[in-house]
Structure 1
Amino acid sequence: MGDVWAAGDAYEDYVGRWSRRVAVPFLRWLDVPAGKRWVDVGCGTGALTSAVLAWKDPAQVIGVDTSEGFLARARAQVSDTRASFRTGDARSLPLPDRRFDAVVSGLALNFVPEPHLAVAEFGRVAAKGGTVAAYVWDYGEGMAMMRYFWDAATALDPAAAELDEDRRFPLCRPEPLHQLWADTGLDEIAVEPIEVATVFADFDDYWRPFLGGQGPAPGYATSLDKEHRHALRDLLSTRLPTAPDGSIALTARAWAVRGVAGRPA
């Protein structure tokens, strides 16, 4: 079962809304001044691009993604003339060498089959002294909405463990991220956790996005027959920490990594 990333509205409902909360502290951490040229690789529905426009006053932002469905949503949501969107692969960016002051990627790098090629491309298009940075979810311990889902899924179906992002994406930890940036030849590398609240209005607000089919966990949920899907739903409803008003307060942690492209002599 492959990962599906195509429907912008379903993705937005699932994790796009939480990605937007991570984007702002991520950009503050980068400390890139106003008036710079940015690339958002794996831009999806435009969450990080929108944050760059709102918080960094850039001269230009180019969003690149393989999904036409996501790009359509991004173009519909982002009307700023400084932003544009292109279809492209992170491993072969349709962009010139040494042109951009900041090359960033939010929640996408672990889904690239050869992430080292993607980071090499980030470095290629970054100007000397430019910032190269990304963030990914901490699937092992920090992304509670997914951790609850996979723990319940594997309790009912041990084979589901093979689809768990924590097992599939060992990159999403501080040490592998630091090593990937170092192997690419980037300088001044730093890795930092970013944690945000993910509060669901009620159980339906938590469960419904898993029925949209966008990403590994929703893909698994929608592959189940009705009986097994209802069993998973019912188990989750007993395990999630639900407040008296029905709300479910969880947290999401991402790991952010940054580096500097080779500085001029």
Structure 2
Amino acid sequence: MTLDVWARGDAYEAYVGRWSRRVAAEFVPWLGVPAGRRWLDVGCGTGALTRSVLDLAAPASVVGVDPSEGFLSTARAEVPGATFSPGSADSLPVDDGAADAVVSGLALNFVPDATAAAAESVRAAAPGAVVAAYVWDYAEGMQMMRHFWAAAAGVDPAGAALDEGTRFPLCRPDPLRRLWLAAGLADVDVRGIEIPTVFASFDDFWRPFLGGQGAAPGYLAALPPSRQEAIRTVLRDRVPTRADGSVALTARAWAVRGVRP
């Protein structure tokens, strides 16, 4: 049983939404989609990727789809110019071939059936459309989460089963490539996108984990206060802190793209 929670857009933004925006800023230009095209953002969450599409791709339209009404409420408030609809990745509320670019940011690992979600994205894509996604490199490159789960394992070994690095095989390049190829996409390519994640202090680093949104915060919220504090203490000792008190880490995402024949 997992403790992933996706309901409050503000807490999610503080946790990883702000870092997703930096990945999206590199991801969208990499796709090379011409201006004036129709975009579909699958699992749009609070609209981090949707915003980058509007800012960087000069789209004709952008539709974001997500099952969380809380996230959609945040997206509608923060990303004017896009249309947002409730729906799941394996049953998109759009017609066949409705989009010239179908994208997804940080959602694939959390859908019940990634194979079905990839097939549904292909269904929604017009012939010649780009289908693309990015996910965190939970296994190695997403340093804030690697530090958290290492600290948690020392306090609560049972929590290791919830570590995204072991739960999600799609956080690596080869499984992503295989998923896209199995969905029938052509010209499949995978690349890493690494961004800095700098926190003003350890408290600035720790506070987003208390928001309850996502895998690690959801797990932490379910623990008694004494274990939460024990994890905080271990984490403070292991996270590298600079002379000015700031915490400078990096986060890597894996991005995959292909073309619908």
Task: Output one character per residue of 1:74-122: Cα deviation in whole Å (capped at 9) or x when no partner.
Answer: 0000122xx1000001001000001211000000011001001001011
| Matching residue of 1:194 | 193
1:170 aligns with 2:169: yes
| Matching residue of 2:231 | 232
1:90 aligns with 2:89: yes
Q: Distance in 2 between matches of 1:79 and 1:168?
A: 35
| Matching residue of 2:258 | 259
Task: Output one character per residue of 1:106-157: Cα deviation in whole Å (capped at 9) or x when no partner.
Answer: 0001100100100101100101000000000000110000000000000111
| Matching residue of 1:109 | 108
4+ runs deviating over 3 angstroms: none
Counterpart amino acid of 1:135? Y
The secondary structure found in structure 1 opposite 2:170 is coil
| Matching residue of 1:38 | 39
Q: Distance in 2 between matches of 1:178 and 1:255?
A: 10
The secondary structure found in structure 1 opposite 2:100 is strand
Q: Distance in 2 between matches of 1:220 and 1:121?
A: 30
| Matching residue of 1:66 | 67
Number of aligned positions between the proteins: 260
Q: How does 1:149-188 map to 2 (within 5 A)?
A: 149-188=148-187
| Matching residue of 1:50 | 51
Counterpart amino acid of 2:110? F
Counterpart amino acid of 2:218? G
Post-superposition shift, 1:193? 0.3
| Matching residue of 1:137 | 136
Post-superposition shift, 1:2? 2.8
TM-score where L is the length of structure 1:
0.97
Q: Distance in 1 between matches of 2:230 and 2:117?
A: 39
Percentage of identical aligned residues: 64
1:19 aligns with 2:20: yes
Q: Distance in 2 between matches of 1:166 and 1:248?
A: 22
The secondary structure found in structure 2 opposite 1:171 is helix
Q: Distance in 2 between matches of 1:66 and 1:90?
A: 8
Q: Distance in 1 between matches of 2:44 and 2:28?
A: 15
| Matching residue of 1:208 | 207
Q: Distance in 2 between matches of 1:104 and 1:136?
A: 11
Post-superposition shift, 1:181? 0.4
Q: Distance in 2 between matches of 1:33 and 1:245?
A: 44
Q: Distance in 2 between matches of 1:72 and 1:17?
A: 17
1:249 aligns with 2:241: no
What is the RMSD computed on CA atoms of the aligned residues?
Answer: 0.7
Post-superposition shift, 1:204? 1.0
Q: Distance in 2 between matches of 1:61 and 1:173?
A: 28
Q: Distance in 2 between matches of 1:2 and 1:152?
A: 18
Post-superposition shift, 1:4? 0.6
Q: Distance in 1 between matches of 2:26 and 2:132?
A: 13
Task: Output one character per residue of 1:144-189: Cα deviation in whole Å (capped at 9) or x when no partner.
Answer: 0000000000011111110100111011110000000011100000
- Which structure 2 residue ranges, 5 or more long, are not aligned? none
| Matching residue of 1:146 | 145
TM-score where L is the length of structure 2:
0.98
Q: Distance in 2 between matches of 1:225 and 1:128?
A: 52
Q: Distance in 1 between matches of 2:182 and 2:4?
A: 27
The secondary structure found in structure 1 opposite 2:189 is strand
Q: Distance in 2 between matches of 1:178 and 1:218?
A: 29
Cα pair 2:4 2:219 within 8 Å, conserved: no
Post-superposition shift, 1:221? 1.1
Q: Distance in 2 between matches of 1:158 and 1:3?
A: 18
| Matching residue of 1:119 | 118
Counterpart amino acid of 2:258? G
